[in-house]
Amino acid sequence: MRISVIFAGKYSKREAKMSNTDTFRVCVIGLGSMGMGAALSCLRAGLATSGVDLSRDRLDAFAKAGGEAVAVSASELTTEFDAAIVLVVNAAQARDAILGDTGIASRMRPGGTIMVSCTQSAADAQSLGLDITARGLLMLDAPVSGGAAKAASGDMTVMASGPRAAFDALAPVLDAVAAKVYEIGPDIGQGATVKVIHQLLAGVHIAVGAEAMALAARAGIPLETMYEVVTNAAGNSWMFENRMRHVVDGDYTPNSAVDIFVKDLGLVTETGRSHAFPLPLASAAFAMFQQASNMGYGKEDDSAVIKTFAGIDLPTAGDKS
């Protein structure tokens, strides 16, 4: 499998070959923490951008920011689009948002391209790709990473696979939303597989970070001190630094919820089974997130997995002791 970085930064000479951005129109499906950032990044890049979301508050916020049009379903929009970005939670939502009765496929221009950025299995991505192609459209299997902050600044990492024509057609969008775009290969499903493997690491890092902080709490080490030591030492990771800050602050307001990692680590374990490959650490982390969800923390921030540990005192919001 050949893996290449299309760009690390922003498009330059390639821009001149792209569609005229005065007529290029993009629709972002899903204006959550990642989707809103992507949509706003498209606006900053000068792309005429519409948004679709079930939340009226999110739609109003995007319209106020300059969105060309907003709606609770794509079928309510009157514009035809050259490109769409689908940033919903899972494969079922993506399929419905694209090919359902009110999906974006009916609002795409002939030959338009859909960037599917949910976390899903390779099999689901492949099935969706076949059905999108049958509609005369292109699909880029393009999961993303970077969190809400990178989405807001237009600096996401995109791990994408699909035909060259899809990469080229989406160049203005990729330029707007990403700092790095990795071309995994030409086959739909390859991008999905890379994202699933990435989520293995992300989920295990959160789980082991929670385990470490729980042990610190049991041992009587102030969690602020433990956090400062780790984030300035070799044991740090991006997930530890980001998520364990929430634990120190006692703030479990979700950007990514526990139930998201129940889903994602479920995909990880299914991928392992499909390849007859053991994943002992991922399986342990999956069990921890399942337990946290079963205990009623599924809608809280994924750092709430630390609440599965009994007999420890955790900070509460506003408590800096």
Residues catalogued as catalytic: 195
Sign of the CA dihedral running 194, 255, 38, 70: positive
The DSSP code sequence of 210-247 is HHHHHHHHHTT--HHHHHHHHHTSTT--HHHHHHHHHH
Query: What is the spatial distance between Cα 193 and Cα 121, in angstroms, rounded to a whole number?
Result: 7
Decide: 177 and 28 in contact? Cβ < 8 Å. Answer: no
| Angle, vertex CA 281, rays to CA 279 and CA 262, nearest 5 | 90
Q: Which two tokens stand for residue 161?
A: 């696979």
Closest C-alpha to 195, from 223, 172, 161, 245:
161
Q: Which two tokens stand for residue 16?
A: 């001149």
DSSP 3-state of 112 = strand
